[in-house]
């Protein structure tokens, strides 16, 4: 008896077997782990240094080139691709397969931190070992210029709201801006004149500190 004839003569049995297979398939599918961006190591690292107010040429000459030279001899380094934009340097390092990534990241940080002549205005380098959890379809937007930090922050916040309103955008982060600070200068003669101690000024500021 061939399969076709058996299926015709045993319709109920065949339908039951088919239904069982469908139910089992759906059940197994629901149990399968699913990730929107599955974690996978990409053998890639990113060094980012913010240099507020610097032009793209200044960033390249004073930061990017020096970082490239510092990391050139790292064991396990395959390729370096760098980007110099206004106020920010990004150096992308591709790592050989089989390289100990933990050791490579330590060596990378040591190499960059030992660069002796980076501009004093440049912020500390940030290091990121890239994997699929952080590398998502992404767009870097640099906002800069010789303007007040508060204006840059306001513009960045407006851009963030615009980007978050775009369908498919999961998150937007702002980085590279210095934290706001308020410096208070105290005149000793005025303190004596009003009979106010310096400790009272410090205490009053502490009570009103919102941070």
pLDDT tens-digit series, residues 105-150 = 999 999 999 998 899 888 889 998 876 555 555 677 777 777 777 7
pLDDT band at 103 (very low <50, low <70, confident <90, very high): very high
- pLDDT the model gives residue 113: 92
Give the per-residue pLDDT at 66.
Answer: 94
How distant, in Å, are the alpha carbons of 30, 41, 137, 143 from that of 158? 40, 34, 21, 12
- In whole angstroms, give the CA distance from residue 127 to residue 67: 12
**Which of the four pLDDT bands, split at 50, 70 and 90, describes residue 61?**
very high
Residue 150 contacts by C-beta under 8 Å, 6 or more apart in sequence? 180
Q: For the purposes of burial, counting CB atoms within 10 Å of the CB of 54, is it exposed (0-12), middle (13-18) or buried (19 or more)?
A: buried
Higher pLDDT, 35 or 62: 62
Which of the four pLDDT bands, split at 50, 70 and 90, describes residue 58? Answer: very high
pLDDT at position 18: 78
Q: Which residue has the higher pLDDT, 201 or 46?
A: 46
3-state secondary structure of 128: strand
Let me know the angle formed at the C-alpha of 165 by 162 and 168, rounded to the nearest 5 degrees: 125
Q: What is the pLDDT of residue 199?
A: 77
Calculate mean pLDDT across residues 84-90. Answer: 89
Question: Is residue 179 exposed (0-12), middle (13-18) or buried (19+ Cβ within 10 Å)?
Answer: exposed
What DSSP designation does 179 have? P
Residue 130, helix vs strand vs coil: strand
């Amino acid at each position: 008896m061939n399969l076709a004839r058996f299926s015709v003569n045993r319709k109920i049995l065949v339908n039951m077997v088919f239904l069982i297979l469908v139910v089992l398939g759906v059940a197994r599918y629901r149990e399968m782990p699913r990730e929107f961006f599955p974690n996978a190591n990409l053998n890639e690292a990113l060094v980012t240094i913010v240099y507020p107010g610097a032009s793209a040429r200044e960033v390249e000459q004073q930061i990017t080139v020096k970082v490239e030279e510092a990391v050139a001899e790292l064991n396990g380094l395959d390729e370096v691709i760098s980007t110099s934009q206004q106020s920010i340097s990004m150096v992308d390092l591709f790592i050989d397969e089989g390289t100990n990534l933990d050791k490579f990241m330590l060596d990378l940080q040591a190499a960059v931190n030992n660069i002796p002549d980076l501009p004093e205005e440049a912020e500390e380098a940030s290091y990121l070992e890239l994997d699929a959890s952080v590398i998502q379809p992404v767009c870097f937007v640099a906002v800069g210029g010789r303007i007040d930090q508060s204006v840059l922050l306001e513009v960045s916040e407006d851009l963030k709201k615009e980007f978050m309103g775009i369908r498919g955008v999961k998150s937007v982060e702002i980085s590279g801006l210095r934290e706001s600070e308020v410096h208070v200068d105290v005149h000793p003669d005025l303190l004596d004149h009003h009979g106010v101690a310096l400790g009272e000024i410090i205490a009053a500021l502490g009570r009103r500190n919102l941070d």
